[in-house]
Amino acid sequence: MAESWATSGVDLHLHLRPAPTGTGVRRGLTDAIREAVRGGRLTPGTRLPSSRSLAADLGIARNTVADAYADLVAEGWLTARQGSGTSVAERPVPRPSAGPTRHPRSPFPPVHDLIPGSPDLSFFPRAAWLRASRRALAAAPNDALGYSDPRGRVELRTALAGYLARARGVHTHPDRIVICSGFVHGLMLLGGVLHARGLTSLAVESYGLDAHWRLLERAGLRTVPLGLDELGTRTEELTGGGGGGEGELADVRAVLLTPAHQFPIGKSLHPDRRAAVVDWARRGDGLILEDDYDGEFRYDRQAVGALQGLDPDRVVYLGTASKSLAPGLRLGWLVLPPSLVGEVVAAKGRIDWSCGVFDQLTLAEFIDSGAYDRQVRAARLRYRRRRDALVAALAARAPQVHATGIAAGLHAVLQLPPGTEESVVRAAVRRRLAVHGLDLYRHPDSTAERTDALVVGYGTPADHGWAGALEELCATVSPAGF
Amino acid sequence: MAESWATSGVDLHLHLRPAPTGTGVRRGLTDAIREAVRGGRLTPGTRLPSSRSLAADLGIARNTVADAYADLVAEGWLTARQGSGTSVAERPVPRPSAGPTRHPRSPFPPVHDLIPGSPDLSFFPRAAWLRASRRALAAAPNDALGYSDPRGRVELRTALAGYLARARGVHTHPDRIVICSGFVHGLMLLGGVLHARGLTSLAVESYGLDAHWRLLERAGLRTVPLGLDELGTRTEELTGGGGGGEGELADVRAVLLTPAHQFPIGKSLHPDRRAAVVDWARRGDGLILEDDYDGEFRYDRQAVGALQGLDPDRVVYLGTASKSLAPGLRLGWLVLPPSLVGEVVAAKGRIDWSCGVFDQLTLAEFIDSGAYDRQVRAARLRYRRRRDALVAALAARAPQVHATGIAAGLHAVLQLPPGTEESVVRAAVRRRLAVHGLDLYRHPDSTAERTDALVVGYGTPADHGWAGALEELCATVSPAGF
């Protein structure tokens, strides 16, 4: 399955010039391999040559190759297993609204986990969920247990239509909601439908999730990153304004955004840009995919409503229970413009028809009984306290590092001194702290200014692990830490 | 989305020759439209011309067109809605291991449901399921609620490995089981993987489910039907034996079979043919997809073990909870040869990562506690009684009709006098009895001998509806019924 090194076409000789000696060689080699993995030329699972043979090929010391490999293993780009050499890791990509957040295999298996993308799983309301489950199953008609509507159970779609209107300003009707198996499933369905409509590209943000871009590209949609500045994603580039890439973006008819809380940068989209992107969609028959992965978690003010409320005919709203409850539920929802419902339902019915009905009925009951609101309120308080503790600890112990972005969500971005991101990530690995550098989230074609930063998932640990994780994080980023 | 009649390229003039008058015209027109729908030239949703305009086009009486449309609506090929004319129905295709079994819209909405593909949903063990759910959730570690292994929870894979070995002779290991969202999801994953491996076609049985063939064809695999005779599917045609289609079948490297209980014909694959197909797979690097949708329900003897047990390296076993428990669980499983695990897991991870964990953990607990065995035993007894009642009632009231196939499963095939299938199905519709003719399950390219028969899902009704459904069935097929 995996491509072999020999056929990957990656030529390290090119990358090594003009850095023929010492640490320069090690750095050049590390960069070259990292770029090859990031750019997809080296695919996950590809076996690398032994350090001995690569060193011989390149005419450099074997230790230099071994050191470069060790660096990349520590960073999570490669994996080393005894007896089977070194190979390209499954990408250690976290997901704000879908997918696993496992840390890559490493010689220093992590003890503390601050990888973003997961809520505190120990906070899942097991007892309340079971109670809702009992009520839901007792009330369910027999035919709920059969093959049912590919959109999902009407009880859940009805509960969500009410909840999303109230909590996120989403304007919809149960008939236009499709329950899916988490965000990725919904994005895959939309990607297929858009491709079938003739789209060949889709605009995305400069930073985001590699897994999402790859999914869209497998669906036949090239992803074209929009620029990024202090006001957030430069949506005006879609209309050819602001010096954006008129060439590639001129043909784009759809855009994937995280307007409430850009992932991972952590800003909300400026009101002018919200208006601009909706205006673009209206004028040019465009479609906005709104990934509202953590819109319920805003700490400093009332959350900004969903973009979908501005134009329900031009925005697909994608929501998930993965952050508010647990990823293991595998429940997400698409709120669709009327014109897309038929195609999405048909695409979904072809694949797996529907998600399990018991969890759907239970979530409907959970929402209707008010338990969902209570859980979100309690979680908001919990995560807000963690964010406050993080900011305070950094101010005290690592004043050169500060959290940017709005007070929201389950992750923060820590700006680092220029040029230090890689060494901080490596220092974290040695401290057995799993945390990601911002660079892991950068679109390969982005031209946005690079900054050195960490993406810290403060929502991930259980309460008993939070203090220790924060301690290790502060030690890592403190002036003496790396 | 739907094709229009005008662009469908279906020319009814051709089909009408040489039957220019009276009932011949009606019959010719009915056949032509039915074939166009069956063959995919008229796709679901296509609007048909008004009876007035088609009659004018064809130079025949408007009533003849109206009658033909009414016949096809009664048979479920077309739907008629007030104010929006007549269009091609979503195919009323039942599914033995996946998908909906809704009856098509009809001017006579059914009261009795004998469409195959669903177990008696009133028999789902709600209380026992809830108990298992409580135990499972109490025992689950926190990380079970996170993003987990795309193969599914190890608890369920372990329980299934034990159960399938014991109940179906499946030889496997939990690492080689992948939990999926019902049979169709599993088949879609396999279709994608086989296509990616370079396969362009796949052998199937002469009778089966249109939805499965279409799914495989969308994955890029042409489906080529094997012949059928008294011993079951003519698997020897794969090796060019027995006068089979050496041409098309010569290149086939995979076959989808229902060996334990052919769906819908109802026979089990003859032992010689079981051996032959495994031998074919071994010699030519072939792969067998074994759809064991109802293998637990055999009434006359110990069930024949799964084909997978004969060669776990050459057979993918596909199982489901849709017949033994409920389709609404959306739980199925693939038991994979080692060589396929990596590709299937990668394909699954790209789509939706995993099914909901709560139902997976509950089913694991349900199996481990013995509740699953008890449920299957009780269901076996229930369905066996229904089958016995069906056979006895037919013998008494419609001796010219008899159930064929082995005493197994949740459906029976009733052989009808030659030439009567269509009129019996129409008579059933008038009696508000939902039941399918065998022809609905025939592969469009099959050259197997046609027989007139009904496919009766005696497992579908609840207990309180069974007697009434059986009464209407007997009245329909009795000599005076149609």
Listed range (A368-372, A463-467, B347-351) with the worst mean pLDDT: B347-351
Region for residue A36 given its phi and psi (left: phi exceeds 0; alpha: psi -120 to 50; beta: otherwise): alpha
Q: What is the pTM of this model?
A: 0.80
Q: How far is A361 from chain B (nearest CA, A)?
A: 11
pLDDT for residue A12 = 53
Which of A299-313, B17-31, B114-128 is the most confident on average? B114-128
Q: Do A329 and B134 touch (CB under 8 A)?
A: no
Q: Which domains does chain B have, with CATH numbers?
A: 4-88 (1.10.10.10), 112-123+375-477 (3.90.1150.10), 126-373 (3.40.640.10)
Give backbone dihedrals phi and psi of A378, rounded to 5 degrees, phi first: -65, -40
B218 touches chain A (CB under 8 A): yes
Q: Is the pLDDT of residue B480 over 60?
A: yes
End-to-end CA distance of chain A: 38
Check if the beta carbon of residue A455 is closer than 8 Å to that of residue A413.
yes
Confidence bin at A244 (pLDDT 50/70/90): very low
pLDDT for residue B98 = 34
Task: Calculate what percentage of chain B has a pLDDT beyond 90.
Answer: 67
Residue of A nearest to B355 (CA): A330
A357 touches chain B (CB under 8 A): yes
A449 touches chain B (CB under 8 A): no
Instruction: Write out the two tokens for B102.
Output: 């809704």
Confidence bin at B8 (pLDDT 50/70/90): very low
B216 contact partners, CB below 8 Å, separation of at least 6: B187, B191, B202, B204, B223, B256
A188 touches chain B (CB under 8 A): yes
Q: Do A124 and B130 touch (CB under 8 A)?
A: no
Q: Do B188 and A343 touch (CB under 8 A)?
A: no
Q: Spell out which residues of chain A touch residue B351, defining contact as CB-CB under 8 Å.
A: 184-185, 188, 351
A215 vs B81, residue with greater confidence: A215
A206 vs A89, residue with greater confidence: A206
Closest CA to B6 of B62, B54, B39, B70: B54
B255-272 tens-digit pLDDT: 999 999 999 999 999 999
A112-128 tens-digit pLDDT: 999 999 999 999 999 99
Q: Do B356 and A356 touch (CB under 8 A)?
A: yes
Instruction: Write out the two tokens for A289.
Output: 């995919």
Q: What is the C-alpha to C-alpha distance for residues A344 and A335, in angstroms, rounded to an integer?
A: 11
Mean pLDDT of A143-163: 93
Q: Is the pLDDT of residue A103 over 60?
A: no
Beta strands B228-229 and B232-233 are: antiparallel
pLDDT for residue B39 = 64
Q: Spell out which residues of chain B touch residue A218, defining contact as CB-CB under 8 Å.
A: 350
Number of C-alpha atoms within 13 angstroms, CB side, residue B16? 20
Which positions 311-340 of A are in contact with B (Cβ < 8 Å)? 326-331
Q: Spell out which residues of chain B touch residue A198, defining contact as CB-CB under 8 Å.
A: none
Q: Is the pLDDT of residue B291 over 90?
A: yes
Which of A284-288, B14-18, B86-90 is the most confident on average? A284-288
B267 vs A354, residue with greater confidence: B267
Cis-peptide, bond into residue B150, ω within 30° of zero: no
Please list the alpha-helical segments (H only) found in B270-331: 271-284
Count CB atoms within 10 A of the CB of residue B377.
Answer: 11
Confidence bin at B51 (pLDDT 50/70/90): confident
Cis-peptide, bond into residue B312, ω within 30° of zero: no
Class of residue A142 by CB neighbours under 10 A (exposed 0-12, middle 13-18, buried 19+) = middle
Q: Is the pLDDT of residue B335 over 90?
A: yes
B301 vs A179, residue with greater confidence: A179
Mean pLDDT of A317-332: 96
Q: How far is A21 from chain B (nearest CA, A)?
A: 40
pLDDT for residue A194 = 97
Q: Which H or E run contains A134? A: helix A126-139
pLDDT for residue B100 = 36
Q: What is the C-alpha to C-alpha distance for residues A471 and A481, in angstroms, rounded to an integer?
A: 12
Confidence bin at B15 (pLDDT 50/70/90): very low
Task: Calculate what percentage of chain A has a pLDDT beyond 90.
Answer: 68
Q: Do A130 and B118 touch (CB under 8 A)?
A: no
Residue burial A257-281, b: 16+ Cβ < 10 Å; e: rest: bbbbbbbbbbbbbbeebbebbbbbb
- What is the average pLDDT score of chain B? 86
**Residues B339, B342, B346, B349, CA torsion sign:** positive
pLDDT for residue A100 = 36
Check if the beta carbon of residue B142 is closer than 8 Å to that of residue A462.
yes
Q: Is the pLDDT of residue A15 over 70?
A: no
B102 vs A60, residue with greater confidence: A60
Q: Is the pLDDT of residue B91 over 70?
A: no
Mean pLDDT of A40-45: 72
Mean pLDDT of A3-7: 45
Which positions 253-292 of B are in contact with A (Cβ < 8 Å)? none
The whole-angstrom distance between residue A130's C-alpha and the CA centroid of its chain comes to: 29
Q: Is the pLDDT of residue A6 over 60?
A: no
